[in-house]
Amino acid sequence: MAVYTDVAADELAEFLQQYDLGELLSYKGIAEGVENSNFLLHTSKGSFILTLYEKRVAKNDLPFFLGLMTHLAEHGVSCPLPVKAKDGEALRELSGRPAAIITFLEGIWPRKPNATHCAGVGEGLARMHLAGANFAVRRANALSVSGWRPLFGAAANRADEVQPGLRAFLAAELDDLESGIWPTHLPEGVIHADLFNDNVFFLGDKLSGIIDFTFACNDMFAYDVAICLNAWCFEPDHSFNVTKARAFLNAYGRVRKLSEAEEAALPLLARGAAIRFLLTRLVDWLNVPPGALVKPKDPLEYFRKLRFHQSVSSARDYGLMPSGLVA
């Protein structure tokens, strides 16, 4: 359960007086997520999500996240809407943390994603990429190549406690990714940057909404594609599922076609996407705050994914045909 900061009932009731959300009927900490503290609120006016933004979220970035949700919702993406308080502002403070209330989205995230889910995510991701086109605010990706070395530094001394040899493995991979091979001229725009299965809701087989924009930023669209390949197209035994990948890439390509350069860069981007989540998970694994209600995620899942991508020589291994058509 991700609740790093607890909120007392009387404190919350007082906080809610700043809004036009009626009376607080009940609330509970949400048993999912690892980044922020989230609460489900039931008020006399409906259900809402309260988020207290924690360690990895810079307060200055919050207008980007909240503005982006509003922009995307206005451009046809099903995502939560920030709720404005009576003074017109959505961003506030509670328990010493930046806080915001967003609308509740119906649906459930798929525990065992199938190829149909993967196709839904491909289409949804591409639609999100197009919908973000005119969003005027910019946010650099703090967790791209230059952000990985500091994460490594925070975990290096104890990395071998998690797996012998992990420190040397990560050091070598970072050296390679920092050596100038990271793409710089691929199409860019607003990316979600964390579109894992617990951030995509479905009603039946149909995607009903996308949540959790706290890593969203401006970066390469194909990097977002690579993040999703990692998050959606591997099995619990860590084997790559080319059928899911093909379904995902095919559906993405029907809405926004990947260029040849983007396709060619996918194996490299997937390595970067893997080390990024390996490193944040490793740091979190080694630094669970005392008293926090959180279940850290397994860093070694991403070690295995990274090893897989190191063995990939072309995007054909992900189910893409050389012509750019998908089999």
Ligand X SMILES: Nc1ncnc2c1ncn2[C@@H]1O[C@H](COP(=O)(O)OP(=O)(O)O)[C@@H](O)[C@H]1O
Ligand Y SMILES: N[C@@H](CCOP(=O)(O)O)C(=O)O
Binding site for ligand X (CB under 6 A): 2, 30, 32-36, 38, 49, 51, 80, 102, 104-105, 198-199, 211-212, 214
Min dist. Cβ of residue 253 to ligand Y (A): 24
Q: Which is nearer to ligand Y, 57 or 265 (CB)?
A: 57
Q: Are strands 200-203 and 97-103 parallel, antiparallel or unpaired?
A: unpaired
- Among 279, 290, 301, smallest CA distance to 56 is for 279
Burial class (CB in 10 A: 0-12, 13-18, 19+), 242: middle
For residue 195, what are the contacts with CB-CB under 8 A and spacing of at least 6?
121, 125, 210, 224, 227, 228, 231
Residue 49 binding: pick among ligand X, ligand Y, none (C-beta 5-8 Å cut-off by kind): ligand X
CB 133 within 8 A of CB 78: no
Whats the size of the chain, residue-wise?
Answer: 327
- Among 48, 61, 56, smallest CA distance to 15 is for 48
Q: Which is nearer to ligand X, 82 or 267 (CB)?
A: 82
Q: What does the binding site for ligand Y look like in residue numbers (CB under 6 A)?
A: 33-35, 194, 196, 198-199, 212, 277, 280-281, 297
Residue 292 binding: pick among ligand Y, ligand X, none (C-beta 5-8 Å cut-off by kind): none
CB 214 within 8 A of CB 232: no
Residue whose Cβ sits closest to ligand X: 33
Residue 241 binding: pick among ligand Y, ligand X, none (C-beta 5-8 Å cut-off by kind): none
Residue 297 binding: pick among ligand Y, ligand X, none (C-beta 5-8 Å cut-off by kind): ligand Y
Residue 102 binding: pick among ligand Y, ligand X, none (C-beta 5-8 Å cut-off by kind): ligand X
For residue 34, what are the contacts with CB-CB under 8 A and spacing of at least 6?
2, 284, 294, 295, 296, 297
Bridge partners of 100, per DSSP, are 51
Min dist. Cβ of residue 279 to ligand Y (A): 10
Neighbours of 174 (CB within 10 A): 17
Residue 78 binding: pick among ligand X, ligand Y, none (C-beta 5-8 Å cut-off by kind): none
Min dist. Cβ of residue 196 to ligand X (A): 8
Min dist. Cβ of residue 109 to ligand Y (A): 10
Min dist. Cβ of residue 243 to ligand Y (A): 22
Min dist. Cβ of residue 134 to ligand Y (A): 26
